[in-house]
Amino acid sequence: MSGSGAVWTFTKTLAAGNDGSFTVTLAGRDRGGNALTIQPTNRTFTVATPARITVVSLNVDRNVVSRGQKSIVVTMQLRNPGGASAQLTLGRLGLKFNGQNASQAGFKVTTPTSPAIITGNGTASYSFTLEAGASALTGALALEADVAGTDLLTSKPLVTQGLATPPVLTVQSAAALTVTEIRLARPTLNPGRTVQIEVAVSNSGAAGVGAGATGVQAALKFNGATTGFTISEAPDNVRTLAAAASTLLTFTVSVDFNPARLGVKTVTATLAGVDANSNAAAAIVNTATASLKVQNPVPPTLAQTGITVARSISSAAGQAATVFVDQKDFVVRLAVTNTSPTVGGVGLRGLTASLKFNPAN
């Protein structure tokens, strides 16, 4: 070679689908046989397989949600199995109902700042926040990963591979509690006595209502207040309600001796409960009421008497005895009058009496 420069062309073939490298080494002598000074003597070239994106996983932090539920977290894990780096231009969560796009069906997706580059054989994650609106579609919601980008070396679009079976999120109508009926064991209550009150509650939502402190609660009120009333709840009241289920909450109520408590009271029940999916307060409908009359005790009254004398004996033949009933201070008194003009008195045999009272309140 003579002159100020030269060009050599080399061809190197690597196996398809594999990363690799090759090195070009230059050496030589001048015409006088002296070794040439070459800078650099070696040059290494790296060959990378094209970047591509594989969706490794798409995970949601729960399987069942309710309408109105917020902060549903979906995590997308991506991997670039290629040797070249991938420049991401799109990372989006797709929603589908029965194969149809559901992005406008009452759901809101918040997408964070996406990772810009995934290096060769590297991974990256997206974290989305999903919110189901109050009127969101209910049923099976399929979640899909929508990813796009380019190969950093070639600027060609990335080849992406999604999940064979996308995860499914079940969306339910939220728990909704209703007081369907308030039942009184009797319509009156005397100071010093008790009355049993039952509150019938139903759940019209598809989501259940939690147990314990998050389960169904009912607070009784009398004309909107509880002053003077003592309310005890049955320990075996069932607080957990499944979808379209109902329960009966039982209470025992008494009232103190105070004239201010007397009168007709409107009994109401204020409900509370927590949606088992979202941990949000369940919707409440308090419509049913009942009337309770608080009154002083009323003694029993005699409603019916029946008294017969099988045989009467008197000092004078043919003279009969008179028997009557008088009701005073809850004591029934029987008196016998001697109608005979002859002194001697009257004797009774076979006396029977049947008494029926109106009950006390």
**Domain residue ranges of the chain, discontinuous segments joined by +:** 52-172, 176-294, 301-358
Instruction: Identify which of 123, 133, 138, 141 has the alpha carbon closest to the alpha carbon of residue 74.
Output: 141
pTM exceeding the 0.85 threshold for the entire prediction: no
pLDDT value at position 100? 72
For domain 176-294, give the fold.
Immunoglobulin-like (2.60.40)
User: Same CATH fold, 176-294 and 52-172?
Assistant: yes
pLDDT value at position 146? 87
First to last CA, the chain: 129
d(CA 235, CA 212): 11
Q: Classify burial at 166, counting beta carbons within 10 Å of its beta carbon; exposed 0-12, middle 13-18, buried 19 or more.
A: middle
pLDDT along the chain (361 residues), means of 10: 60 62 65 65 69 94 96 94 91 82 79 82 92 92 91 92 91 96 96 96 94 86 97 94 94 95 96 94 90 86 56 46 49 52 52 61 57
pLDDT value at position 151? 94
pLDDT value at position 91? 86
pLDDT value at position 19? 59
pLDDT value at position 311? 44
pLDDT value at position 310? 46
Q: Which CATH number fits domain 52-172: 2.60.40.10, 1.20.120.530, 3.40.50.10070, 3.30.365.10?
A: 2.60.40.10
